Homo-oligomer: A and B are copies of this chain.
Amino acid sequence: MDFIVFLIQSPDQTGLVSGISSFFYERNFNIVDCQQFVDVYSKKFFMRLKLDLSGLKTSRKQLESEFQDFSAPKQLNWSVHYTDQLQKMAILVTTAPHCLYDLLVRHEQKELLCEIPVIISNRPNLESIAEKFRIPFYCLPISNKADKPRQEKLVQSLLKQHHIDLVVLARYMQILSTEFTEGYFGKIINIHHAFLPAFQGANPYRRAYERGVKMIGATAHYATPDLDEGPIIEQNVERVTHEHYPQELTQIGADVERVVLATAVKAHLERRIIITGNKTLVFS
């Protein structure tokens, strides 16, 4: 069964729920799910609408054009998605295998509905995992700092060539350029191995150990030019004690990371996320 998903945000105003739902009712759509939220602080309205795709009697272009006419006077900021078009997801990695494995297994089990045309790395280590799942692996090494822009260009041209919709940084240990993150705004999900905003930057488990925290965490967020400052999608934590050394924190943290990253990627693929300012709304 396939669906049409509308994601809408706009200044709050009376009659939005009634107006939007009537728009689709008049066109004989079956509203499978409708979630809305009004932020009383920013006075903004948000809605996620899920329609039975089989109810579409016109072309997609026609529907979009009619909704555009409807939405313009209301200043709706909206996007539409059709679940019969699988998104294309690229995974970028360095040497840590746990998140890569997790995404590939969930993909194979149809928990993450998307295509994965490429896995890209700046190191050769994880090629055999890509092999196992028969996905092309590109090793694009960086010989020195001056070499970084050249390599990033190669990454970007691979993404373009494969029409990538979503880039997942599955423990990719390179900082992306401002131009890259801005060009893919809202389309790059990063996993940071700490409970942001605690322990931004490098070596979070080591620093968590030194600070003596009693829980460690992980955060999935959209990448922005400011490192580890982008809109947070999902977070979780696990309890630790004084008996855990940094290498054990790393292992305990890996379990948190992979579930947090998979949860965020799934929400994105299912079009359940709206970005507003530097925050996200994640619908259920």
Residues on A lying within 8 angstroms of B by beta carbon are 14-15, 17-19, 21-22, 24-25, 28, 30-41, 97-98, 101, 105, 108-109, 111, 132-133, 195-199, 211-215, 217, 231-237, 239, 241-243, 245, 251, 255, 259, 278-282, 284
Contact = CB atoms under 8 A, between A and B. Distances in A.
A54 to B, nearest CB: 13
A235 B213 contact: yes
B35 A212 contact: no
A127 B234 CA distance: 34
A213 B242 contact: no
Contacts of A32: 38
Contact of A212 (B241, B242, B279): B279
A133 B214 CA distance: 33
A237 B212 contact: no
A242 B279 contact: yes
14 contacts: A17-B34, A18-B24, A21-B22, A33-B37, A40-B245, A41-B245, A105-B105, A195-B195, A197-B211, A211-B279, A212-B279, A242-B279, A242-B280, A242-B281
A-B residue pairs, 5 tightest by C-beta: A212-B279, A18-B25, A198-B198, A18-B21, A17-B21
Contacts of A237: 195, 215, 217, 237
Contacts of A213: 196-197, 232, 235
Nearest to A221: B212
Given A18-B25, A242-B282, 6 more contacts: A21-B22, A132-B133, A196-B211, A212-B280, A214-B282, A243-B284
Nearest to A49: B17
A201 to B, nearest CB: 12
A35 B242 CA distance: 13
A49 to B, nearest CB: 9
A273 B232 CA distance: 29
A234 to B, nearest CB: 6
Nearest to A26: B18
A212 B17 contact: no
Contacts of A41: 245
Contacts of A28: 14
Contact of A235 (B38, B214, B279): B214
Nearest to A41: B245
Nearest to A50: B38
Contacts of A101: 101, 105
Contacts of A259: 255
A215 B235 contact: yes
Given A195-B195, A280-B212, A111 B245 contact: no
